[in-house]
């Protein structure tokens, strides 16, 4: 009996400890006062300028010869015409990859490290999609602007320009340099950003902070949290395409075998995708979960305030979620398959493409080695050693995961303060972005790279990015502009 008593006492003590920690779990607050947009009121003029830029079809193409350069020329000229004070305050832009631009607004104190603000102005194509309203007309229906680029990423581009124009026209001089960079080929991993970062590096420019697209002020977030959450990307997953190649004798389809190249390929790719490696919660993801739980039900707070006890369970649950799983592990997506060109011929070679997103705690080589090991299991089992090979796809981009930026620094707190001033109802937390952005390249010259499109994105809007019927609410757009005004005008408060 005494043993049972001891066990019961221990369990009770653990339970009390969990409850106490849960009760103490509170949403994080910024360290300083909220920073708002001052007297700025977003006007209908902001919206009209946004629509003018949306109407220009700056579609980037993998094959650069297919790029409509006239559209990019028009975009450049239109920006100049719409934002005259910006082009007086900033130095003459420098162009990369033709139409990407990098420009500096000289600040009052040249000894302070600059801030970089980014937003690409190319968009993905619309071919093959069915739009309710034309994708490059920027029509307004029921309070929403419908156009390609409304969410990705001309909202950010225009938001920056509007803030610069408003503040430059009022005579504002930033306390430190502001660099603005906009790629013309972000959607096709164009070279502009690497060239711009290399140029800045050569000039010994070390930004104290970079702000690019990525996360958003998201509604409908996990754990049943009602408040919107500003999800600030502090890293992004790596990316590589792998080719899986299976070989066999081939022959006539009337005499198939278990180990035809096509069947080896199917077994190998299935095995690779089904074994994506162990999930792991990096500190930023744990912080995200704690922050969500702090606004969620008490049951969630008990779990997420006590990760020392529940980490294995939580990791399993998060890894199983469709939206959360990719945040905690490397993923392999089977995107292309190729076999015989004839219906009745067994090919001697079958190939597949895996689009791989590498978790921030791994490298591309780890993801490749795992895929090779899984493929080897299949070919060895078939007695076909080495007949399923895995390697980087021809011409693939090789992006390692972006370094993890801190989220306990003055820069992150500055973002929190600007959010508190413009979205007082929203929380803010770090997260690991599962998609890619140009900001990745800035990791070479800056340790504080943050990814946040400061606009409300609903679950519906998140699903419309790159798809048909992309659109943004007029009021949502205006609010994002206010964030950028707050961010620029408050820079004197950035202690970094």
Q: Which residues bind Zn ion (CB under 5 A)?
A: 152-153
Residue 484: CB atoms within 10 Å: 27
Phi-psi region of 126 (alpha: psi -120 to 50; beta: other; left: phi over 0): alpha
User: Closest CB to Zn ion among 37 and 126?
Assistant: 126
Residue 396: CB atoms within 10 Å: 17
Q: Please report how close the Cβ of residue 433 comes to Zn ion at its closest, in angstroms.
A: 11
User: Closest CB to Zn ion among 154 and 417?
Assistant: 154
Alpha-carbon distance of 77 to 325, in angstroms, equals: 43
User: Closest CB to Zn ion among 287 and 438?
Assistant: 438
Q: Please report how close the Cβ of residue 454 comes to Zn ion at its closest, in angstroms.
A: 14
User: Closest CB to Zn ion among 153 and 306?
Assistant: 153
Cα dihedral angle (478, 481, 482, 486), rounded to 10 degrees? 180
Q: Please report how close the Cβ of residue 63 comes to Zn ion at its closest, in angstroms.
A: 20
Q: Please report how close the Cβ of residue 224 comes to Zn ion at its closest, in angstroms.
A: 29
Q: Please report how close the Cβ of residue 213 comes to Zn ion at its closest, in angstroms.
A: 5
User: Closest CB to Zn ion among 161 and 294?
Assistant: 161
Alpha-carbon distance of 466 to 49, in angstroms, equals: 22
Q: DSSP class of residue 142?
A: T
Alpha-carbon distance of 260 to 348, in angstroms, equals: 8
Q: Please report how close the Cβ of residue 152 comes to Zn ion at its closest, in angstroms.
A: 4
Q: Please report how close the Cβ of residue 465 comes to Zn ion at its closest, in angstroms.
A: 8
User: Closest CB to Zn ion among 156 and 307?
Assistant: 156
User: Closest CB to Zn ion among 153 and 262?
Assistant: 153
Alpha-carbon distance of 383 to 420, in angstroms, equals: 62
Cα dihedral angle (68, 239, 206, 200), rounded to 10 degrees? -30
Question: What's the Cα-to-Cα distance from 229 to each of 288, 301, 304, rounded to whole Å?
Answer: 10, 17, 17
Alpha-carbon distance of 457 to 480, in angstroms, equals: 11
If you count them, how many residues does the chain have?
496
User: Closest CB to Zn ion among 120 and 448?
Assistant: 120
Q: Please report how close the Cβ of residue 120 comes to Zn ion at its closest, in angstroms.
A: 6
Sign of CA dihedral 288, 292, 294, 298: negative
Q: Are 376 and 415 in contact (CB under 8 A)?
A: no
């Amino acid at each position: 009996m005494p043993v049972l008593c001891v066990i019961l006492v221990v369990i009770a003590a653990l339970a009390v400890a969990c409850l106490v920690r849960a009760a103490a779990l509170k949403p994080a607050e910024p360290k300083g006062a909220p920073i708002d947009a001052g007297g700025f009121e977003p006007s209908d003029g902001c919206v009209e300028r946004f629509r003018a830029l949306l109407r220009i079809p700056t579609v980037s193409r993998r094959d650069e010869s297919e790029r409509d350069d006239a559209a990019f020329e028009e975009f450049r000229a239109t920006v100049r015409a719409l934002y005259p004070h910006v082009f007086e305050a900033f130095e003459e832009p420098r162009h990369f990859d033709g139409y990407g631009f990098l420009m500096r607004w000289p600040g009052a104190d040249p000894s302070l490290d600059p801030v970089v603000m980014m937003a690409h102005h190319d968009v993905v194509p619309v071919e093959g999609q069915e739009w309710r309203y034309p994708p490059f007309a920027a029509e307004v229906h029921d309070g929403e602007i419908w156009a390609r680029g409304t969410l990705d990423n001309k909202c950010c581009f225009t938001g920056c320009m509007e803030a610069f124009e408003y503040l430059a026209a009022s005579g504002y001089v930033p306390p430190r340099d502001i660099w603005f960079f906009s790629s013309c080929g972000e959607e096709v991993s164009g070279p502009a950003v690497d060239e711009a970062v290399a140029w800045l590096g050569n000039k010994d420019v070390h930004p104290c902070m970079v702000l690019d697209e990525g996360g958003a002020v998201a509604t409908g977030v996990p754990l049943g949290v009602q408040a919107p959450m500003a999800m600030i990307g502090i890293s992004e997953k790596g990316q590589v395409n792998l080719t899986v190649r299976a070989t066999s004798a081939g022959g006539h389809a009337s005499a198939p075998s278990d180990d035809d190249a096509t069947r080896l390929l199917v077994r190998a790719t299935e095995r690779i995708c089904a074994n994506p490696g162990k999930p792991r919660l990096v500190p930023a993801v744990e912080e995200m979960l704690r922050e969500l739980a702090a606004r969620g039900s008490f049951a969630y707070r008990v779990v997420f305030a006590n990760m020392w006890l529940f980490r294995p369970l939580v990791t399993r649950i998060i890894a199983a979620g469709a939206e959360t799983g990719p945040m905690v592990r490397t993923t392999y997506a089977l995107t292309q398959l190729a076999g015989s060109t004839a219906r009745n011929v067994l090919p001697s070679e079958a190939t597949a493409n895996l689009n791989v997103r590498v978790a921030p705690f791994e490298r591309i080589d780890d993801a490749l080695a795992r895929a090779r090991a899984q493929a080897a299991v299949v070919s060895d089992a078939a007695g076909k050693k080495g007949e399923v090979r895995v390697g980087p796809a021809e011409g693939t981009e090789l992006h390692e995961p972006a370094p993890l930026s801190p989220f306990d620094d003055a820069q992150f707190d500055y973002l929190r303060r600007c959010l508190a001033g413009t979205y007082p109802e929203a929380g803010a937390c770090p997260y690991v972005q599962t998609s890619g952005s140009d900001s990745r390249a800035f990791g070479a010259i800056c340790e504080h790279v943050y990814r946040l499109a400061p606009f409300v994105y609903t679950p519906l809007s998140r699903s419309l990015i790159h798809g048909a019927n992309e659109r943004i609410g007029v009021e949502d757009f205006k609010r994002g502009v206010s964030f950028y005004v707050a961010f620029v005008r408050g820079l004197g408060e950035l202690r970094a």
